[in-house]
Amino acid sequence: MSQHLHLRGFTGRPAAIGAHLSAHAVNPASQPVLSRIPMLTLAESYARGEGYQYLAAFQRACADVLGEALARTVVADLLTLQETGLDRLSDERKVRLVERYAAFDHPAAREVVDWLQGGYAITGEALQTQ
């Protein structure tokens, strides 16, 4: 899981179940600020029901959490951050992305930089039980 940032809007939950829920637990990612983005889309999916559009919800949540400028950058880089994964990014691409996100003074941008630099890597040591 640490190879990818999980940012997209929630899908696959029928809006009709919202009327039967008093709460919905979510397992957040290791990046606490970035995790707010998909969590906001889950709330929106229940609020909008059948009118929910996950891409538009993702874009709104990005703007709410990140501010307009950083949100535009994350939206533009979504496929790289979520689908490509660290192990498939070239060192050159990682350097360019680090430079791009380091230019923002925002905790979410720092989470992206830390992720790009391997700060959230799950190693074999972390998986061993004692």
Domain boundaries, the chain: 15-127
Write b or e for each residue in 39-48: b if 16 or more Cβ atoms lie within 10 A of its Cβ, otherwise e. bbbbebbbee
DSSP assignment string, 78-124: HIIIIII-GGGS-HHHHHHHHHHHHTS-SHHHHHHHHHHTTTTPPPH
What pLDDT does residue 105 have?
Answer: 98
pTM (two decimals): 0.85
> Which of the 8 DSSP states describes residue 44?
H
Please tell me the predicted confidence (pLDDT) of residue 1.
52
Q: What is the pLDDT of residues 78-88, one digit of tens each?
A: 999 999 989 99
Position 106 scores a pLDDT of 98
Low-confidence residues of the chain: pLDDT under 50: 127
